Chain A
């Protein structure tokens, strides 16, 4: 493989990860507030179809993206209402929504199957795109990919560096403690779930109007992405930056599966197609190794300086779910 193909491939990985990143960031925000939005897989399909349909009918890509976000926000609103106001099981509601939205997407989307519609064009950034290597990797992308870079940074900045972001962490962790510190827990949960839903809804049109332009119904290949994004959220430790890393890793593994096919001819192609999934789990398990009991024991046996270094490292890598994830909050 020459340098040119490698760069094009890696730039493709960055682009392919963009929709997953939107979904993962949206889910991260929602779960940080304590609400699991399990509808993600259906939401992505419905917003992909809806976004494409709106863009097709208005001939405006921007309207398509807005429609996708609106769909995501509305589905999330249903999740929020059922779980926060009605105090129903988030898992049950989310799961049913995931199936309903998927079937709805296939049903409503039937007339748009295989139609040629508008799509986002590549948007090379002047000057920066002419840089060697870096320019080719990062600055000859589509607009959604740039937005995904910015979104990762903003989400991370919000959660870890702003006052409302710290409170967001608190709301998902121990709502009672957040409440005595002045947070309107249930209102915040509504807001973050809906914003998170809008981000998840951005993933759909990011596919249907850019990364895999068009609506192909059941063979769009989008079914399942939402579930992957859900597990990346979990393994990403509810940290936007780590979750984004997970998304890139997944896109990279998928790409490797493709490019290695002609090289590793003795390996059945199905193995390479499926390999990203278990590899993903394995990598993320390794990242979360600090949670294991035997690691604690090994650490205890190490000399002081090494122990301090490793325990700090592992602590930074460790992830635990927001303690009140999925638990309704009452002020008494």
Chain B
């Protein structure tokens, strides 16, 4: 379907989120929409998918006909389907029920057999494997995306909008997703791919538009030039900088024959020696054991065997608070669920983190403290801003600002997931500063480029197996990708030795 957006304006109060955007997308195109966080990408996509309405004077033209889209359900009637960043589905319900909910036809009692046939046919067509009677909460984010894609196709979507679809899915699922999108585009579907990840856009899209501060600042067709795109996104040249190898010091964390176990998997005999100032990257598909490993390093999961030593002190089996007092800090992936407290302001957070004694709060000192931190961590907010009102990048900065000082070991889960490149560089700058002060870092990321760029050594996890520590300077994305996918492991697998 041909899409034309003409002169799209959107005001939220005083904020002018979209400033007269004009964009034409012919049928069969994979259109990339690039822009940093807050550039107006989401607003534009919400307008096209019916979530919000544009200001008057704006026009959406589908196949030559101007349309008014009143709601998401209305959008799908016009053939516009949107895949949201967090899958909007119903986890405790069965896959088939999820697929079924929302079809406007089909009578009071839906014909499950027929629906299941449609479902299996569509799943087969794209080589997705599902058991329709299983529950959605057993699926990974990537599989839930696949489910949502075939659901939208079933409902007759001819334009598919994907909002940051590659955050939170594994490398192999990404390959599959891209193949699916290419097939769909060949069949004449229009794909709109919203992302801030340049490499994804470069490998997939055949037309790219860049938004900055609510305006369309440029369009490009392949061959795509990274540095030009980055310049358009940020209005200036941004570079990752050189890899900085660690100046390693004494042993910080020493794991001896550590074995871990939960309901789903066992990891046996991990041996690892982390030096002060060193950065260890953990790679692997989501749920391959790296989450359990990092929680064990934080003292949240108790190892079933082996010893954990920090700076020569035995911490095996001690509680999280002992670890915390020893200078171990953990930043989990779910910022608002596990890291920050929604409903509390930035000041409240700093007060909680830094004034643990006494009953009464020194408000003035707290606000002063918050102001200092906001300045030094470049957080876009005020001391009274509620944390849930901050953007993802600013929440992450706030979490970094909350880390205690001095620190021995920082554990991070997806530290830059969903952030634009400028925030990524900023956050890693702050983290590397900690390394220079003698802290060690262990982090999980699904972004292999990030792992190679910032870590000194890499551990790869594959269904409970842990690789030898790999020197990040002497490996490549391809090599890591193979290990993550289960190729190139020694036959006996098992433990690692450093």
Q: A residues within 8 Å of B by Cβ?
A: 161-164, 166-167, 169-170, 173-174, 176-183, 293, 296-297, 299-300, 315, 320, 323, 331-332
- Shortest beta-carbon distance from A187 to chain B in Å: 13
Q: Using an 8 Å CB-CB cutoff, how does the interface string of B93-105 with A read, 1 for contact, 0 for none?
A: 1000100111110
> Which has the most chain B C-beta neighbours within 10 Å: A163, A170, A176?
A163
Chain B: minimal CB distance from A17 (Å): 28
Nearest to B106 among chain A residues (CB) is A163
Interface assignment of B406: CB less than 8 Å from any CB of chain A: no
**Residue among B71, B90, B110 with the highest chain A CB neighbour number at 10 A:** B90
Chain A residue nearest to B92 in the complex (CB): A320
The reply to whether A173 and B93 form a contact with Cβ atoms under 8 Å apart is yes
Distance A191 CA – B288 CA, assembled complex (angstroms): 45
Q: Which residue of B lies closest to A164 (CB)?
A: B108
When A163-B108, A163-B110, A315-B135 are in contact, do A174 and B71 touch as well, CB less than 8 Å?
no
- A selection of 5 A-B contacts at a CB cut-off of 8 Å is A161-B109, A163-B101, A174-B90, A176-B88, A181-B72
- B126 contacts partner chain A, Cβ-Cβ < 8 Å: no
Taken together as a complex, chains A and B put the C-alpha atoms of A163 and B52 apart, in Å, by 27
A9–chain B nearest beta-carbon distance, Å? 38
**In the assembled complex, how far is the CB of residue A284 from the closest CB belonging to chain B, in whole angstroms?**
19
In whole Å, how far is B157's beta carbon from the nearest beta carbon of chain A? 12
Check if B428 is an interface residue, CB within 8 A of chain A. no
Cβ of B52 and Cβ of A332 under 8 Å apart? Answer: yes
- Nearest Cβ distance between residue A242 and chain B, in whole angstroms? 15
- Knowing A174-B88, A177-B88, A297-B263 are in contact, say whether A169-B93 is a contact too (CB < 8 A): yes
| Complex interface: chain A residues within 8 A of B89 (CB) | 174, 177
CB distance from B57 to the nearest CB of A (A): 21
Q: Is the CB of B93 within 8 A of A299?
A: no
Contact in complex: A173, B92 (CB < 8 Å): yes
Q: How far is the CA of A58 from the CA of B100 in the complex (A)?
A: 48
CB distance from A44 to the nearest CB of B (A): 30
Given contacts A169-B90, A182-B73, 18 further A-B contacts (CB under 8 A): A161-B109, A163-B106, A163-B107, A164-B108, A166-B93, A167-B102, A169-B93, A177-B89, A179-B71, A179-B72, A180-B82, A180-B84, A180-B88, A180-B102, A182-B72, A182-B76, A315-B135, A332-B52
Interfacial residues of chain B within 105-152, with CB under 8 A of chain A in the complex: 106-110, 135
The 10 lowest CB-CB distance pairs between A and B, nearest first, are: A181-B102, A182-B73, A296-B263, A180-B72, A177-B88, A173-B90, A300-B263, A166-B101, A162-B108, A170-B101
Query: Within the assembled complex, what's the spacing in Å between the Cα atoms of A164 and B82?
Result: 22
Find A166's partner among B71, B92, B97 (CB 8 Å cutoff). B97
Most central of A162, A178, A179, A181 by chain B CB within 10 Å: A181
CB contacts (< 8 Å) of A169 on chain B: these are 90, 93, 97, 101
* Chain A CB within 10 A, most for which of B52, B100, B135, B263: B263
B51 at the interface (CB under 8 A from A): yes
Q: Is the CB of B90 within 8 A of A177?
A: yes
Closest to A296 in B: B263
Chain A: minimal CB distance from B86 (Å): 9
Q: Which one of A173, A182, A320 contacts B71 once the chains associate, using CB atoms below 8 Å?
A: A182
Question: B14 near A: Cβ within 8 Å?
Answer: no
Q: Are A170 and B93 in contact (CB under 8 A)?
A: yes
- In the bound complex, residues from chain B placing their C-beta under 8 Å from that of A166 are 93, 97, 100-101, 110
Q: Which of chain B's residues has its CB closest to A168's CB? A: B101
Question: B101 touches which one: A167, A176, A297, A332 (CB < 8 A)?
Answer: A167
Distance in Å: Cβ of B11 to nearest Cβ of chain A: 14
How many chain B residues touch A (CB < 8 A): the figure is 28
In the bound complex, how far is the Cα of B81 from the Cα of A9, in angstroms?
A: 58
User: How long is the Cα–Cα vector from A326 to B316 in the complex, in angstroms?
Assistant: 42
Cβ of B264 < 8 Å from any Cβ of A? yes
CA distance A173 to B84 in the complex (A): 17
Q: Which of B177-196 contact A (CB under 8 A)?
A: none
Q: Which of B101, B106, B264 contacts A181 (CB 8 A)?
A: B101
Contacts of B93 in A (CB 8 A): 166, 169-170, 173
Write out the residue numbers on chain A whose beta carbons fall within 8 Å of the beta carbon of B135.
315
Q: Closest B-chain residue to A158, C-beta based?
A: B108
A180 and B92 in contact (CB under 8 A), knowing A162-B108, A163-B110?
no
B72 touches A299 (CB 8 A): no
Minimal Cβ-Cβ distance residue in A for B105: A163
Contacts of B107 in A (CB 8 A): 163
Most buried by B among A164, A174, A183, A299: A174
A177 to B103, CA, bound (A): 13
Residue of A nearest to B93 (CB): A169
* C-alpha gap A293/B90 in the complex (Å): 23
Q: List residues of chain B with CB within 8 A of the CB of A177.
A: 88-90
Inter-chain contacts of A163 with B (CB < 8 A):
100-101, 103, 106-110
Q: Is the pair A170, B90 in contact by a Cβ cutoff of 8 Å?
A: yes
- In the assembled complex, how far is the CB of residue A241 from the closest CB belonging to chain B, in whole angstroms? 17
**B137: min CB distance to chain A, Å:** 9
Q: Residues of B contacting A331 with CB < 8 Å?
A: 51
**A67-B91 Cα distance, complex, nearest whole Å:** 40
- Which residues of B have CB within 8 Å of A296? 263
Inter-chain CA distance A236–B282, complex, in Å, is 43
- Complex alpha-carbon distance, A174 and B110, angstroms: 21
Complex: A178 Cα to B97 Cα, angstroms:
12
CA distance A331 to B89 in the complex (A): 16
Q: Which residues of B contact A297 (CB under 8 A)?
A: 263
Taken together as a complex, chains A and B put the C-alpha atoms of A43 and B178 apart, in Å, by 56
CA A164 – CA B109 in complex, angstroms? 9
Shortest CB-to-CB span from A178 to chain B, Å, is 7
Q: Inside 8 A of B102's CB, which chain A residues have their CB?
A: 167, 170, 178, 180-183
Which partner residue on chain B sits nearest A321 by CB separation?
Answer: B92
**Contact in complex: B101, A178 (CB < 8 Å):** yes
In the complex, which residues of chain B have a beta carbon less than 8 angstroms from the beta carbon of A174? 88-91
* Nearest CB of chain B from residue A236's CB, rounded to whole Å: 15
